[in-house]
Structures are given as structure tokens and as C-alpha cells.
């Protein structure tokens, strides 16, 4: 006999236990696209307490959609080892260009991040940050469904030593800091420079080079780095996203 109330209690207790335990952590990752998932995986693998909030129902960000909904991604030679690290199968299409299934890649990144110990909460939007003495100290979250329905519901706060903006093209967390903190970002203009038009060759290295701390205790990775520092976009080549997520994890682990 299956008792429905036991199912309800199992779900509620298990979820709330993890949520309460995540109110204070070492690292909060905002966004569960490829760069955020990679960052979460490498940090959790080092034994650090990582909490990731993703607005959408499913993880992967822009990855599952591949290029114009053709569910394939391309990864360049420099990131090939990372495909192996995540057990993502690929084929060499032309020398140095590896093609993989974007659904397999998204699922593999999610699976590895979770199994490394990252706590991942989907359907939650980061709508604000906590700033203390000009340092980011956490985030403010709400249900995505409340945001979508435009319901007036007060959010709740989660603290961490470091926050990673992995929200992709809109660089939402850095945008909030720029708007509300009154301080300068560590960019050439002191503000968000804004994403430029497509140039994949330049964009990939630019993204990795600009994966860094942009405001005290706020790091950017993936397309958020690119947009914050004013790089060109790159379309469905994903090596830069993976390498950026790995780099931000290394920078933060070094600081901790």
C-alpha cells in the first residue's frame, strides 16, 4: 500500500533540511548554466560548501538549446580534457573542433556538480544581494513563480563568503550591485561595459581572461564575465564557459 502523506512528508522534510542548511555557506553560485555548474562542481569537489540557485525549472542555461535549437555544442581543443572530466562523449568534427550532444553535456554537468556535493536549488531567482561595508555578503532570493506572477511576496536572505555571478548574458547579480551599492566595479569604466557583437575567436579567451573578482567578494564567470567586461559574444562554442567555470573555482579556492 502506498500512503500519499508519507510521500508529501518525505519531500517536504528532505527539501527543507537542505534549504535550512544552505542559509549560510562558503560560496553562492547565481545561475546553473555551464559556467555556474562547472564552478559549483570544482568548488564542491574541493570540499567547500556550495549553494547554487537557478531561476529556471531545469539546469543547463543556454546549453541544451545548442545552436538555434540543434542540440549540439562545439568545444575547442583547449577544453577537451574537461569533456573527459565530466564523462561527456564527443567526436572530432575537424581538427581541434569537438562536437557533443548538448543534452548529454547539460545532464552530465548537473549530475557531477550534485554528486560532488553542490546544493542546487532550481526555480529560485536571486533578486538582490546583501552588501556589508562595500563587500558582497550573500544574496536575496524568491520563488521564480512569484516573480513571474508579479506577486508582492517578500524574499529571504542567504549569506556566503563569496558570490559568483554566473547568470549569463544579462549579468544580473553584477547589475544589481552596480545599481544599488553605489561603489565602482573593477572594470575599465567602473561600470558594466556591455556585451559586443559576435567574434568567437576573441570572445573565448576574453571570457577566461576576465573571469575574476569584479567587486569585493563578487566574482563573474561565463557570459557574465564577458558582458561585464565588454567582450564579444561567441555563440554555441562552449569551451570558454567550461574553462571560465573552472578558473573561477580555482581563484576562489585559492582565496579561501
Residue numbers at the binding site for ligand 48F (CB under 6 A): 30-36, 53-56, 61-63, 125-126, 166-168, 172, 222-224, 233-234, 236-238, 241
Tell me how far, at minimum, the Cβ of 21 lies from ligand 48F, in Å.
Answer: 20
Which CB atom, from 104 or from 172, has the smaller least distance to ligand 48F? 172
Tell me how far, at minimum, the Cβ of 223 lies from ligand 48F, in Å.
Answer: 4
Which CB atom, from 1 or from 125, has the smaller least distance to ligand 48F? 125
Question: For residues 57, 60, 66 and 69, what is the CA-based torsion angle, rounded to 10 degrees?
Answer: 0
Which CB atom, from 55 or from 112, has the smaller least distance to ligand 48F? 55
Residue 106, classed as helix, strand or coil, is: helix
Residue pair 110/100 in contact (Cβ under 8 Å)? The answer is no
Nearest in space to 206 (alpha carbons), one of 191, 225, 219: 225
Sequence-distant (6+) residues with CB within 8 A of 5 are none
Tell me how far, at minimum, the Cβ of 24 lies from ligand 48F, in Å.
Answer: 19
Nearest in space to 233 (alpha carbons), one of 191, 188, 202: 202
Tell me how far, at minimum, the Cβ of 2 lies from ligand 48F, in Å.
Answer: 34
Tell me how far, at minimum, the Cβ of 163 lies from ligand 48F, in Å.
Answer: 11
Which CB atom, from 3 or from 60, has the smaller least distance to ligand 48F? 60
DSSP structure class, residue 102: H
Tell me how far, at minimum, the Cβ of 7 lies from ligand 48F, in Å.
Answer: 28
Sequence-distant (6+) residues with CB within 8 A of 194 are 227, 230
Which CB atom, from 224 or from 243, has the smaller least distance to ligand 48F? 224
Which CB atom, from 4 or from 146, has the smaller least distance to ligand 48F? 146
- Helical spans, DSSP H, in the chain: 4-21, 34-45, 80-85, 102-116, 144-148, 172-180, 200-209, 223-229, 239-255
Residue pair 35/169 in contact (Cβ under 8 Å)? The answer is no
Amino acid at each position: 500500500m502506498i500512503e500519499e502523506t508519507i510521500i508529501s512528508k518525505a519531500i517536504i522534510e528532505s527539501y527543507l533540511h537542505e534549504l535550512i542548511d544552505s542559509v549560510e555557506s562558503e560560496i553562492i553560485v547565481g545561475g546553473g548554466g555551464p559556467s555556474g555548474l562547472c564552478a559549483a562542481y570544482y568548488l564542491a569537489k574541493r570540499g567547500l560548501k556550495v549553494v547554487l540557485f537557478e531561476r529556471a525549472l531545469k539546469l543547463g542555461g543556454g546549453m541544451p538549446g545548442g545552436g538555434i535549437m540543434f542540440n549540439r555544442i562545439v568545444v575547442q581543443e583547449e577544453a577537451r580534457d574537461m569533456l573527459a572530466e565530466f564523462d561527456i562523449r564527443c567526436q572530432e568534427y575537424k581538427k581541434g573542433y569537438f562536437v557533443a550532444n548538448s543534452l548529454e553535456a547539460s545532464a552530465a554537468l548537473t549530475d557531477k556538480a550534485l554528486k560532488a556535493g553542490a546544493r542546487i536549488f532550481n526555480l529560485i531567482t536571486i533578486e538582490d544581494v546583501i552588501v556589508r561595508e562595500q563587500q558582497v555578503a550573500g544574496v536575496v532570493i524568491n520563488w521564480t513563480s512569484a516573480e513571474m506572477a508579479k506577486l508582492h511576496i517578500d524574499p529571504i536572505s542567504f549569506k556566503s563568503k563569496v558570490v559568483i555571478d554566473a547568470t549569463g548574458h544579462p549579468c544580473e547579480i553584477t547589475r544589481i550591485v552596480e545599481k544599488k551599492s553605489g561603489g565602482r566595479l573593477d572594470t575599465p569604466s567602473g561600470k558594466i561595459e556591455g556585451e559586443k557583437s559576435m567574434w568567437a575567436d576573441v570572445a573565448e579567451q576574453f571570457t577566461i581572461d576576465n573571469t575574476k573578482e569584479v567587486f569585493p567578494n563578487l566574482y563573474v564567470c561565463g557570459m557574465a564575465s564577458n558582458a561585464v567586461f565588454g567582450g564579444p559574444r561567441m555563440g554555441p562554442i562552449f569551451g570558454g564557459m567550461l574553462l571560465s567555470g573552472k578558473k573561477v573555482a580555482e581563484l576562489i579556492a585559492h582565496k579561501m
